[in-house]
Every structure is written in structure tokens, then in C-alpha cells.
């Protein structure tokens, strides 16, 4: 599909400005919050956190990546009739790699679920299978990197190859996109699928496009199943009073609650709205430019997650409080002459 010429830059795409202002603002704040979270985790994680400290730091880095991709692509979404799709509206729309880069946006959400799933696996090992924690030491930890890469490439390829709009799809969207955005569909890199074709005999399924949708939902379902499985196992183990000190159990419970809330955020801000995006074409809803509400809600995910971590884990919460009140950790000398840190004594308290 031809790209926009350079003299068509700027304001030729209408109808999404408010949504993109909200999305961009949220993404910028997300980058700031995740960078701040990274610094807090790096500085104030106690030794008992082990390698989980690095997993949380990786998650903060991924939050920055997720928000950066949103700003880089500024996607416009649409559900119209039995068709759904998206197209980038940022400066990349004028490049020949617009489609390839634009597909990173839907892939980022699926990739984030993989990162969360690995967190749950680590927490399960730390609580129930300590002897398996070597899988998170180098070089064994590289297996998680390989799994992440394979999954991410697979999901990106499903979007890139499955969403290339054919001529019937383009023709069905020509008038709606001109009406909603004021654009010529031949001048954008459109990624779209059409579930059904309307014929005189009724609706005829387009099995290729439906198969792409099922494949992508299946990939997400695999990760959600892993998350739910390990979530139940961890919760059961903590309730059954497995052998560990009260301090350790308190810490493990606190980290599990933080991880659980981290999981609720992408499900609430992502899975629900994205489900609307996927299933609206099945019933033929014409959401038009208001489909972009989904991308706005999604943009809150990388912003909310670091806030959850910083507020749920007591060590980080206290560190932020000391920063805000300009307090410093005071040191005292015990009767034996040993120096101890007063703040560290309070770290075991929830």
C-alpha cells in the first residue's frame, strides 16, 4: 500500500486527536513512573528478595518499552461492521516499515503477560520448590529469554501476516474511514481483518481471518492459564502454612499480593477492552473512532503497574515516604557495640 507523501504531513487524519492526547500523556507519565520504580527497586530491595529484584527491574524496563511503543506508533483502532483493524498515525506512517513497527503495539500487551507469567513461576519456585530456583540463575535463566523471544515473535508474526488487509477488506472500509477520519484508505498502512462477508444469501465466514483471531486468542489464553495455575498453587501453599519463618512468610505474602495486583491491572485495563475489540465484529458493531477508547484504557496499564508495586511492598513505600518527608535512615549503636540500621529493623513489618 502506498505511503503518505511528505507534503501530507500533520493534520490529514482527523477524529482521534483527543484520544491520542490522553494516550500520549499517560504514556509519558508511565515512562517516568517506571524509571522511578526501577531506581527504587534497585536501591531499596532487601537481600531476601534474591533474583526477584531483577525480575521486577526487568518489568519496569518493559513498562518503559510498552509506553515508548505507544508513543512511537500512536495507533488508531476501529471496529466497523464485521471488520476490525488499526493503523499508525505517528511519523512512522510515512515510512515503508509502518506496518512492521505498528504491529509491535498489539504484540506489546501479549508480551507483558509473558513477563507476568515468569514472575508467577519464580514466586512458586521461591515458596514451594526452592530447589528449582537455579532456573533463574545464569546460564539457566536464558531459557526464559528464549521462551519470551519465541512467543513475542510468534505473536508479532500473527498480527503482521494475519492483518494484512486484502482488497475486499479495503473496499468495505473505504467509506467508513473517510467518514470517521477524513482519510483516503489507499494512503495509510492499514492492518485489518474481516470476519464475515455480506452476500445476498447472508453472512459468509472468512475462515482465514477467523483463524488468525483464534490463534491470537489462543496465544493469550496459554499465558493466562499459566498465570492462573501458579496463582492458585501459590495461594494454596501460603494458606497451608508451609514450613517457613513468620518473617519470610510475611515477605512472601506481601510479594504475592503485589504480583496479584500487578496481574489484575493488565486484565482490567487490557483484557476486557481488548475483548470488546476482538468480539465486536462478531455482532457487527460500528464503534468507529470510539474504538480508540480501548487504546486510551490500555495506556493506563504501564502507568498503574509501577504504582501498584511501589505502594504494595512496604520497603518501597517507606523509602518513598522518607523521600517525600526528607527523612534519612538513622543509625544507632547497640549495647554490644554493633551498629545497626533503625530502618532495616522495620522492614519486616507489613
Residue of 57 and 272 predicted with greater confidence:
57
- Contact (Cβ atoms closer than 8 angstroms) between residue 96 and residue 3: yes
Q: Say what percent of the chain tops pLDDT 90.
A: 29
Global pTM value: 0.82
Confidence of residue 225 (pLDDT cuts 50, 70, 90): very high
CA distances from 50 to 47, 130, 148, 223, 248 (A): 6, 12, 21, 24, 12
Among 157-166, 214-223, 239-248, where is mean pLDDT lowest? 239-248
pLDDT recorded at residue 269: 78
Confidence of residue 66 (pLDDT cuts 50, 70, 90): very high
Highest mean pLDDT: which range of 29-43, 169-183, 199-213, 278-292? 29-43
Confidence of residue 195 (pLDDT cuts 50, 70, 90): very high
Domain spans, the chain: 6-312
pLDDT recorded at residue 238: 77
Looking at residues 122-150, what average pLDDT do you find?
90
Helices 314-324 and 17-44: crossing angle in degrees, nearest 10, is 100
Each residue of 303-346: pLDDT tens digit?
A: 988 998 898 888 898 999 888 887 765 443 343 444 444 333 33
d(C-alpha 290, C-alpha 296), whole Å: 10
Cell triple for 129: 520448590
| pLDDT score of 1 more than 60 | no
Fold (topology level) of 6-312: Rhopdopsin 7-helix transmembrane proteins (1.20.1070)
CA distances from 314 to 120, 143, 156, 332, 346 (A): 20, 31, 37, 22, 9
pLDDT recorded at residue 16: 67
Looking at residues 100-124, what average pLDDT do you find?
89
pLDDT recorded at residue 337: 43
| pLDDT score of 93 more than 70 | yes
pLDDT recorded at residue 202: 84
Cell triple for 52: 526477584
Amino acid at each position: 500500500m502506498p505511503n503518505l507523501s511528505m507534503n501530507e504531513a500533520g493534520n490529514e487524519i482527523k477524529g482521534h486527536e483527543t484520544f491520542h492526547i490522553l494516550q500520549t500523556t499517560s504514556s509519558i507519565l508511565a515512562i517516568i513512573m517506571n524509571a522511578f520504580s526501577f531506581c527504587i527497586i534497585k536501591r531499596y530491595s532487601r537481600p531476601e528478595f534474591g533474583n526477584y529484584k531483577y525480575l521486577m527491574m526487568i518489568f519496569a524496563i518493559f513498562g518503559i518499552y510498552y509506553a515508548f511503543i505507544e508513543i512511537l506508533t500512536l495507533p488508531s483502532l476501529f471496529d466497523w461492521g464485521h471488520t476490525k483493524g488499526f493503523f499508525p498515525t505517528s511519523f512512522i506512517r510515512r515510512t515503508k516499515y509502518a506496518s512492521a513497527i505498528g504491529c509491535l503495539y498489539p504484540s506489546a500487551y501479549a508480551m507483558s503477560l509473558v513477563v507476568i507469567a515468569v514472575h508467577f513461576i519464580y514466586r512458586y519456585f521461591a515458596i514451594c520448590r526452592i530447589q528449582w530456583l537455579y532456573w533463574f540463575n545464569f546460564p539457566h535463566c536464558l531459557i526464559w529469554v528464549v521462551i519470551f523471544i519465541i512467543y513475542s515473535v510468534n505473536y508479532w508474526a500473527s498480527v503482521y501476516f494475519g492483518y494484512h488487509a486484502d482488497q475486499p477488506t479495503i473496499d468495505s472500509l473505504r467509506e467508513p474511514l473517510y467518514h470517521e477520519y477524513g482519510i483516503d484508505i489507499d494512503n495509510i498502512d492499514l492492518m485489518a481483518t474481516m470476519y464475515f462477508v455480506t452476500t445476498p444469501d447472508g453472512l459468509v465466514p472468512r475462515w482465514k481471518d477467523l483463524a488468525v483471531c483464534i490463534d491470537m486468542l489462543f496465544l493469550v489464553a496459554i499465558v493466562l492459564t499459566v498465570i492462573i495455575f501458579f496463582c492458585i498453587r501459590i495461594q494454596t501453599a501460603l494458606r497451608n502454612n508451609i514450613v517457613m519463618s513468620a518473617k519470610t512468610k510475611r515477605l512472601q505474602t506481601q510479594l504475592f499480593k503485589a504480583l496479584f495486583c500487578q496481574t489484575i491491572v493488565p486484565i482490567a485495563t487490557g483484557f476486557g477492552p481488548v475483548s470488546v475489540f476482538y468480539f465486536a465484529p462478531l455482532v457487527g458493531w460500528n464503534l468507529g473512532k470510539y474504538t480508540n477508547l480501548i487504546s486510551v484504557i490500555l495506556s493506563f496499564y504501564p502507568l498503574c503497574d509501577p504504582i501498584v508495586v511501589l505502594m504494595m511492598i512496604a520497603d518501597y513505600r517507606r523509602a518513598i515516604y522518607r523521600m517525600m518527608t526528607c527523612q534519612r535512615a538513622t543509625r544507632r549503636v547497640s549495647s554490644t557495640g554493633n551498629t545497626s540500621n533503625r530502618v532495616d529493623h522495620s522492614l519486616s513489618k507489613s
